[in-house]
Structure 1
Amino acid sequence: MQIPTTGLILIFTILVSTTLAIAAADKTPNADLVLTSCVHASFPQICIHTLSSYTGSTTTPRDLAQAAVRVSLGRARKVQTYLGTLKSQSKREQSALVDCLEQVGDSVDDLSKTLSELQHLRPGTFRWQMSNAQTWVSAALTNEDTCLDGFKEMETTVRVDVKRKMINVARVTSNALYLINRLDQTRHY
């Protein structure tokens, strides 16, 4: 059964509204910041969910951007560990796994550099540091996408599992990039 486009929009609107209402009811100090920051993210529900439940301090836009990068980094590391445990059924699949593991490793490095840069923002070098952070997170997104390229035209359980996990990482990484771009616009260092 196919849902009409207007039905999908209505369902999405209801889900986002419900999520926003639940988060707004939360009296934690960061609830308003998370809501206002995540509402226009690429994946607002994921942004709200991951950052509302984040245990670290998120009282400023800078804290929130760092938290988003930490979430992305944590998920990328989990996928990296998962990929290291997989065994393939064919040489082609094994090659795709090795390449994917390398790409995810590069993403972990890029996200680690981004987090370090965000932790040391200074007024005199803010623009340069933000450019670095944006470049590294964009590269991490590209690496995550490139990982899946090796599995094209394969219909295996490994491909399905890797794709699901990589999409999850890519979504939180995309939200992290959005919050970094937002931080760049507000210049909170």
Structure 2
Amino acid sequence: MRFTLLLPLLPFLLLLLLSHSSAARKPTSTTSHLVRTSCQHASYPNLCLHTLSTSPAQTPRDLAQAAVAVSLSRARKVSAFLSQLSHTSSSKPKRQRVALGDCVEQVSDSVDELKRTLEELHHLHEETFRWQMSNAQTWVSAALTNDDTCLDGFQEVDGEVKADVKRKITNAARVTSNALYMINRLDESRGRPRSKP
């Protein structure tokens, strides 16, 4: 009997629920559109979508910052992994120990470069925009070079360690490559911050 009394209200309740749900989704769909359109031409579009799909970015500048933050997070994880591996490699062949030691330094440098990049992107200014973008591009490119150099050091090394290092470094390099794309895209769109009155 109570259900029968609620029947006339059902269409109204459904309409209310749907309008509330669509209003709640609007900001997310805007963000999703920005991420989708930005990622479609990235070096690794699927990875780009996967790593940035939950980003609250509303502008190309936000998205570049988010992409660099993801890259920095991955680089830190790889750095920690390599450091731990290096500490437990005393019984490993010399070539592998040397390659690991070099990798630890190179990935540590990448972490520093990505930190500097993120800091630069957080403090963009109209009058120094071009110079700051050049800095960001240089640092992220250097981080990518460090990843390549790390992998080159493992060319003559065999075994499971090489496979693990290669997998982690390759993943970090792909995310960093996408971050560089987002920075280049920001530079091309001249996504300068608005001047404060």
Answering whether residue 136 of structure 2 is matched by residue 133 of structure 1, we say: yes
User: What's the RMSD between the two structures over aligned residues?
Assistant: 1.1
Deviations 1:2-61 (A, max 9, x none): xxxxxxxxxxxxxxxxxxxxxxxx86131000001000000000001100033xx31110
Deviations 1:127-147 (A, max 9, x none): 000000000000000001101
Answering whether residue 94 of structure 2 is matched by residue 91 of structure 1, we say: yes
Answering whether residue 184 of structure 2 is matched by residue 181 of structure 1, we say: yes
Report the 3-state secondary structure (helix = DSSP H, G, I; strand = E; otherwise coil) of the residue aligned with 2:58: coil
- Tell me, in whole angstroms, the C-alpha distance in 2 between the residues paired with 1:163 and 1:48: 23
Flag structure 1 segments of 5+ consecutive residues without an equivalent. 1-25
Deviations 1:68-91 (A, max 9, x none): 000000000000000111133111
Higher mean Cα deviation, 147-156 or 43-52? 147-156
Answering whether residue 72 of structure 2 is matched by residue 46 of structure 1, we say: no
Who is 2:36 aligned against?
35
TM norm structure 1? 0.83
TM norm structure 2? 0.80
Report the 3-state secondary structure (helix = DSSP H, G, I; strand = E; otherwise coil) of the residue aligned with 1:30: helix
**Which consecutive segments of 4 or more residues in structure 1 shift more than 6 A?**
none
| Count of equivalent residues | 162
Computing the radius of gyration over CA atoms, which structure comes out larger, 1 or 2?
2
Q: In the TM superposition, what are the counterparts of 1:16-27 in structure 2 within 5 Å?
A: none
Flag structure 2 segments of 5+ consecutive residues without an equivalent. 1-24, 193-197
- Tell me, in whole angstroms, the C-alpha distance in 1 between the residues paired with 2:138 and 2:129: 14
- Tell me, in whole angstroms, the C-alpha distance in 1 between the residues paired with 2:52 and 2:190: 20
Report the 3-state secondary structure (helix = DSSP H, G, I; strand = E; otherwise coil) of the residue aligned with 2:155: coil
Who is 1:77 aligned against?
76
